[in-house]
Amino acid sequence: MFVVMAGGASEADINGVKSHILSEGMTPFDHQGTERVVIAVVGEIGPRRQRLIDRLSALPGVETVTRISRPFKLTSREFHPEDTVVRVLNATIGDGSLTVMAGPCSVESREQLFETADSVAANGATILRGGAFKPRTSPYTFQGLGVEALRYLAEARERTGLPVVTEVMEPNQVDIVQEYADILQVGTRNMQNYSLLTAVGRVARPVMLKRGYGATVEEWLMAAEYIVSSGNPNVILCERGIRTFETYTRNTMDLAAVPLLHHLTHLPVIVDPSHATGKRWLVKPMALAGVAAGADGVMVEVHPRPEEALSDGEQSLTLEQFRSMMSALVPIHAQVRHLHGDPLPSAPALGVGGASGH
Amino acid sequence: MFVVMAGGASEADINGVKSHILSEGMTPFDHQGTERVVIAVVGEIGPRRQRLIDRLSALPGVETVTRISRPFKLTSREFHPEDTVVRVLNATIGDGSLTVMAGPCSVESREQLFETADSVAANGATILRGGAFKPRTSPYTFQGLGVEALRYLAEARERTGLPVVTEVMEPNQVDIVQEYADILQVGTRNMQNYSLLTAVGRVARPVMLKRGYGATVEEWLMAAEYIVSSGNPNVILCERGIRTFETYTRNTMDLAAVPLLHHLTHLPVIVDPSHATGKRWLVKPMALAGVAAGADGVMVEVHPRPEEALSDGEQSLTLEQFRSMMSALVPIHAQVRHLHGDPLPSAPALGVGGASGH
Amino acid sequence: MFVVMAGGASEADINGVKSHILSEGMTPFDHQGTERVVIAVVGEIGPRRQRLIDRLSALPGVETVTRISRPFKLTSREFHPEDTVVRVLNATIGDGSLTVMAGPCSVESREQLFETADSVAANGATILRGGAFKPRTSPYTFQGLGVEALRYLAEARERTGLPVVTEVMEPNQVDIVQEYADILQVGTRNMQNYSLLTAVGRVARPVMLKRGYGATVEEWLMAAEYIVSSGNPNVILCERGIRTFETYTRNTMDLAAVPLLHHLTHLPVIVDPSHATGKRWLVKPMALAGVAAGADGVMVEVHPRPEEALSDGEQSLTLEQFRSMMSALVPIHAQVRHLHGDPLPSAPALGVGGASGH
Amino acid sequence: MFVVMAGGASEADINGVKSHILSEGMTPFDHQGTERVVIAVVGEIGPRRQRLIDRLSALPGVETVTRISRPFKLTSREFHPEDTVVRVLNATIGDGSLTVMAGPCSVESREQLFETADSVAANGATILRGGAFKPRTSPYTFQGLGVEALRYLAEARERTGLPVVTEVMEPNQVDIVQEYADILQVGTRNMQNYSLLTAVGRVARPVMLKRGYGATVEEWLMAAEYIVSSGNPNVILCERGIRTFETYTRNTMDLAAVPLLHHLTHLPVIVDPSHATGKRWLVKPMALAGVAAGADGVMVEVHPRPEEALSDGEQSLTLEQFRSMMSALVPIHAQVRHLHGDPLPSAPALGVGGASGH
């Protein structure tokens, strides 16, 4: 449930509410909105709900207490009506600018990474991606260069000024990865690896959470809720396709999830057409489509020589193809940007506060 | 297989090849491309393939005979490298212009239809849609006004000048529907109703073939092949969402199918975000996304008072929402239009001829 | 809604209720159960529901009027608590006996059909299957022998005494097919071909309705409702697999649908492991599983020389494999048969009457 | 690739082959079959394949070297033709006996666990299940009693003599869980948590690997390959349903996976109808179906008072329902047991050795 404080509630009122929630064995999370403070009450409420609502409603400074039927709380628009804007080095994600994460699937060598990084930086990428620890379906295929790759990524950041995003696969890797990387990625296979979600929820780096290929939008938001409720508010969602009966493409890119998420949550949403389609010649049109649907940005795989890539070569853009994609994407983003201040004029109301910013 | 004629092949050469194909019990379909003629050989070839290739290769004017591994022939880019452009009254579909089909799910009354038609025509719709015969999951719900609705649609065409598209559900309805409508729609549940496909393949009206909600792209093209091989080359494909495990939206809109189809086939592709999402507030962003992905147009449901609609009210735009969608869609289309002359610069070659126009 | 008549209601009472329903513009369907009569009210009820309930409740002989939330009415257990038993020639389906439909995918010649029919009859098949009109994904592959095949099937019935089931693909074929066949099959692609459902609903032959490969259980029952509400109560349901992301098997056989259907409906349920798996070596174990789950029988494809079959050879059993399957299936059926008198001891109550027989 | 040794190959020959494989930077895994030794070569072979085949073929005692196209090696029937039989305390899994894993979803208290354990042990269960660490979609719901539950499980083992299976959710939990439990379960959400797979691959306890709800059979076997190639050969596979468009049941139980797996792999296969269906009244028929399809056993959730369960109450059997299920399951298993010595008489050959035992 959410406790909506009155416009003139004092710091003492807010603390009083939070103390009471703690005394009930629940955890309070407060959000200072543009107009007022909302305090989410999380934990297993069970049968005492009505009693709790009555008591909280009676506390000083409380305007109203609302039940929330959706299972996600801290990630919901009700709790946090304004868009979350993630800032990392010079990049911002979710503020209406165009985020472009680009780089190789796997870091294969210093040369391959630098060649790619220099080129994508020169052509408009805002964040550098590159795999150090690779989740592979087979135990017998290339698993990534590990810490060596992390060092190359840090060097590439120095060269280009771009923040670095890379995947972390287990709780024990979190420390080493956050030492080198700026954004930690949780991959599609680990979307419901709750130990990992909790671990990345405790660090001071933004997290990019990819959708599980078999997960619903609601489960995805619940996974984000694990991270946010562990203390890390800077979560970026990344749609990368779901598994369906259609086999022509690697997965089916669920672009309706983009405006749907902008309605349900305040977190920024990125789309990954490389993994969603699995075919490089589908990346450009699907990147355009993602941005037109309101995505805050795209993530694409780029390789100087895709035919030699150790992983995912079939879906990697060449340097030239990346440049071509960017030259189409930037004007489209400029064109749609103003539209997404009000993409959902007729979306049903969401209780306290409405969607803003998107 | 395809027989590619030499640049200087004469009419007699072409007829010679076609005669030989007929004498083998197969059917020839020829296409006069911009540079040369291609003749498709359709029918069950079986074990005599090599002998047939040898004989055809030796005929005068034949440049080469190629095997085609894909099961669709007449609908393939190999056979027909240029885009098919469908022309009906003053509308053209597939020539790079923006097609917008709009109107009510069901025609409920003359007044409801005229009010809708006048408004969408004034705001940029190019084709009027409206259901006369409605396929309904339940035998106990509104099944459409039938012929009465067809008459209203014809009247609305007179008022607005817009050509009319409406669904035909069985072979016996083809005659009456084509009498009133300009484009015949085959619905998602009938995508593999082969009797119906063959029946609409024999009329002189364009056909819009919606994708089956459980059908692959390849099966969809094979369904189009039924229509084209029955004699009707004017087929428009309409992506309307496929069925997946995600239940937040009615179906999952498979936008990657748009550039995929432009690669595989010469037929125009329309997207229907109303049925794909089932929620009116998702229609606008998904229409934008569809056009950005290269769709030749969109189809949307519009109703003056969606809350009173006899079917699909939840997904129908109001008149004002349609106007708002159009004001966003037109500039996006203008922006992307030039991009789709070469959307697939790195798509693998397709044998004879390459993709052009899209 | 359902009108449950009192135990001692007279014929006049029943007619009174039916007359009233007709006078309201709705259609009454009555079912004489073991203990009392239930009358279903079908049609679009809309806002007058409460008024109608009040009026019907006040009529003589009416015990109670119940609202039914499920969209299927005549096919529901509430309306018709006892199992439907379909009788055709000497075969009965749904009475606890083991139904085995066997024969070739397509009738290819008199010899092929007779060889198969004689063998499956000698080894326990109770119904002969064989395709005359074949729905094929491609317009260029074998489409069946048509009426010639129907004649062979009728001859095979004379030889073996087995009733014949064969597919009908369009309303115009219903007359000719029912002239030769004993059970009309509606195929997976036509499950929502409402014209066809209505047409087979008007004939005096039982109908086997295969599940659409993309259809939910509820939509399937709604399709059956079309047939039953058109006047034909003898519908047999056939589970043949649904489309999922798993590609190792042709489709995914949804065996939980078997006990689920026995809970929801009184209609008999058959399983088709040949189409569901697409691999002949999976047919036997899945036939066993289907019967163990409570299916009323199985349908399998059998061919004397599958490697020469014109369609579906990969999934056809040889004559010897059919014999082997039967020798395993019969004792399993005998073993489970008594279990399915009460398969669902803890299934939630269904309103009037409970599941019986299954 | 696999090196098949000649019947009379000596220990020295075998060691020579293994040494050569090691010297190439690959890892040898040998399996002593009933007739001869097979040595799998795992690692990234890449372009040197032909050279490696030539060299290995020339070594003393080598009969043949075969390429394996399937990506799973150590889990394949080719490598290990005989069924793997897992032995733990007095239980054996995979030897043709009926394995029944039963117990509560979550261990909620000592009393709840003991009451359940005593009852299922008395009614034929062979292994006790119970959740200590629970993976939950929401961070705000009951997450299990943790180590306290592990202690209760160990006590219950003492009371009943049944070995205990419980889930482990992260690498750091492996040590503590293996201290108390006899079989470690990897849950559906963690099927591709490679860190966890590797960790359980290094312990001396059998592992039960549940299928990911969005995973193909091939990916599932690749996940098992991670465990086996890490050193743990005792892997049990558990089918628990996949995610499809059908929403009446929680998931769709893919029973064809059972005979398919018996064909592809030597590992035992268990089915879990509780999670697959999500409805207790579907558990019994689907348990029967699973065993009829050849499953080595079933896993079911049982709770003395399901309506009070802290998790999964809707799908838990009561003690009495478990007893009822067992009384049906035991005779069916006895009936089918002999059938599964040869369930696949016409399955295509698998290279070296054929399926045996199943």
DSSP B127-151: EEE-BSS---SSTTS----THHHHH
pLDDT at residue D346 in the model: 43
Contacts of D247 in chain B (CB under 8 A): 247
CB atoms C135 and B192 under 8 Å: yes
Contact B240, B210 (CB under 8 A): yes
Whether residue D158 is predicted with pLDDT greater than 80 in this model: the reply is yes
Q: Do A292 and B294 touch (CB under 8 A)?
A: no
Confidence of residue A342 (pLDDT cuts 50, 70, 90): very low
Closest chain D CA to residue A72:
D138
Over residues B301-350, the pLDDT tens digits come to 999 999 988 888 899 999 999 999 999 999 999 999 877 644 444 455 44
Beta strands D62-66; D2-5: pairing state: antiparallel
- List, in sequence order, every residue forming a beta bridge with C102; answer none if it has no partner: C128, C300
CATH architecture of C86-341: Alpha-Beta Barrel (3.20)
Least confident of A269-273, B63-67, B261-265, C96-100: B63-67
Q: Which residues of C288-312 are buried (b: 16+ CB within 10 A; e: fewer)?
A: bbbbbbbbbbbbbbbbbebeebbbb
Q: Point out the least confidently predicted range of A2-11, C340-349, D42-51.
A: C340-349
- Tell me: pLDDT of A90 over 90: yes
* Chain D residues in contact with C345 (beta carbon < 8 A): 281, 321, 324
What tens digit of pLDDT does each residue of D279-304 get?
999 999 999 999 999 999 999 999 99
| Interchain CB distance below 8 Å, A244 and C245 | yes
Gap between the Cα atoms of C38 and C79, Å rounded: 6
Residue D355, pLDDT above cutoff 60: no
Which is more confidently placed, D111 or D43?
Answer: D111
Number of residues assigned to chain B: 358
DSSP E strand boundaries for D142-243:
164-167, 183-186, 207-210, 235-239
Segments in chain C forming alpha helices (H): 11-23, 49-57, 110-122, 147-160, 174-180, 194-200, 217-229, 257-264, 273-277, 283-292, 319-337
Find chains touching chain C: ≥3 CB pairs under 8 Å. A, B, D
- Tell me what pLDDT residue C44 has: 77
Task: Give D44's contacts in chain A (Cβ within 8 Å).
Answer: 140-142
Residues of C with CB under 8 A from a CB of B: 42-44, 71, 73, 135-142, 169-172, 189-190, 192-196, 212-215, 219, 222, 225-226, 229-230, 243
pLDDT tens for each residue of B220-261: 999 999 999 999 999 999 999 999 999 999 999 999 999 999
> Do D251 and C244 touch, CB atoms closer than 8 A?
no
Mean pLDDT to the nearest integer, A122-133: 97
Nearest CB to C335; choose among D293, D331, D346: D331
pLDDT value, residue D340 = 66
Quote the distance between the C-alpha of residue D31 and its chain's center.
19
Q: Tokens 């066993």: give the residue.
A: C288
Pair B101, B300: CB distance under 8 Å:
yes
| Domain parsing of chain C, residue ranges | 2-66, 86-341
- The stretch A156-184 carries a mean pLDDT of 97
| DSSP string across D59-118 | STTEEEEE---SS--TTBTTT--SPP-EEETTEEESSSS-EEEEE-SB---HHHHHHHHH
Q: Are D328 and C345 in contact (CB under 8 A)?
A: no
Amino acid, res. B187: G
Which helix H or strand E contains D23, and what residues bound it? helix D11-23
Contact status, residue C67 vs residue C92, Cβ threshold 8 Å: no
Mean pLDDT in runs of 10 for chain C (358 residues)? 92 95 91 88 82 93 88 92 96 97 96 98 98 89 91 98 97 95 97 96 98 97 96 97 96 98 97 97 97 97 93 92 96 86 47 35
pLDDT band at B354 (very low <50, low <70, confident <90, very high): very low
Query: What is the H or E stretch that residue A39 is in?
Result: strand A37-42
Name chain A's partners: 3 or more CB pairs within 8 A: B, C, D
Beta bridge mates, B62: B5
d(CA B331, CA B335): 6
Chain B contact set for A280 (CB, 8 A): 346
Chosen from B136, B138, B190, B220 to mutate, greatest number of chain C CBs within 10 A: B138
- CA-based diameter of chain B, in Å? 67
Residue-level pLDDT at A356: 32
- Would you state the pLDDT for residue B340? 66
ipTM score here? 0.92
Residues of D in contact with A170 (CB under 8 A): 170-171, 193, 195-196
Could you give the dihedral angle defined by the CA atoms of residues D307, D309, D315 and D317, in that order, rounded to the nearest 10 degrees?
Answer: -80
Distance CA C44, CA B140 (A): 6
**pLDDT in the model for residue A138:** 86
Residue type, B62: V
pLDDT of residue A140: 85
Chain C environment of B210 (Cβ under 8 Å): none
Q: Is A126 helix (H, G, I), strand (E, B) or coil?
A: coil
Q: Comparing A198 with D42, which gets the higher pLDDT?
A: A198
User: Averaged over B250-273, what is the pLDDT?
Assistant: 97
Tokens of A50: 């009505």
Burial of A260 (0-12, 13-18, 19+ CB in 10 A): buried
Q: What is the mean pLDDT of residues B88-109?
A: 96
CB-count burial class (<10 Å; 0-12, 13-18, 19+) for A93: buried
Angstrom CA distances, D254 to A315, C245, D268, stand at 31, 12, 16
What does CATH list as the number for C2-66?
A: 3.30.70.1140
| Mean pLDDT value across residues D203-228 | 97
Contact A92, A86 (CB under 8 A): yes
pLDDT of residue B174: 96
- What per-residue confidence (pLDDT) applies to A340? 66
Both tokens of residue B277? 């999402």
d(CA A60, CA D72): 64
> What does the DSSP 8-state code read for residue B79?
T
> How close, in Å, is residue D246 to chain B by CA atoms?
8
* Chain A contact set for D43 (CB, 8 A): 140
Count of residues making up chain C: 358
Q: Which residues of C touch A243 (CB under 8 A)?
A: 245
Round to whole Å and give the CA distance between A100 and A317.
14
Q: Which residue among B195, B214, B225 sits closest to C214, beta carbon to beta carbon? A: B214
* Neighbouring C-beta atoms of residue D32, cutoff 10 Å: 12
Q: What is the pLDDT of residue C340?
A: 66
pLDDT tens digit sequence for C58-84: 999 999 998 877 889 999 998 999 999
Q: Which of the four pLDDT bands, split at 50, 70 and 90, describes residue A126?
A: very high
Closest Cβ–Cβ partner in A138, A172, A222 for D222: A138
CB contact under 8 A, D328 and C318: no
Residue whose structure tokens are 């150790």: A310
pLDDT digits (tens, 9 = 90+) for C250-285: 999 999 999 999 999 999 999 999 999 999 999 999
Reference A260, options D202, B284, D128, B15; nearest CA is B284
Q: Which residue of C has its CA nearest to D214?
A: C245
- CB within 8 Å: A192 and D142: no
- How distant, in Å, are the alpha carbons of B147, C295, C318, C320, C324 from that of C301? 43, 17, 9, 13, 14
The closest CB to that of A135, out of D194, D212, D230, belongs to D194
pLDDT of residue D142: 82
C290 chain-D contacts, CB cut-off 8 A: 289
% chain B with pLDDT above 70? 95
Residues of D near B (Cβ–Cβ under 8 Å) read 243-245, 247
Contact B250, B275 (CB under 8 A): yes
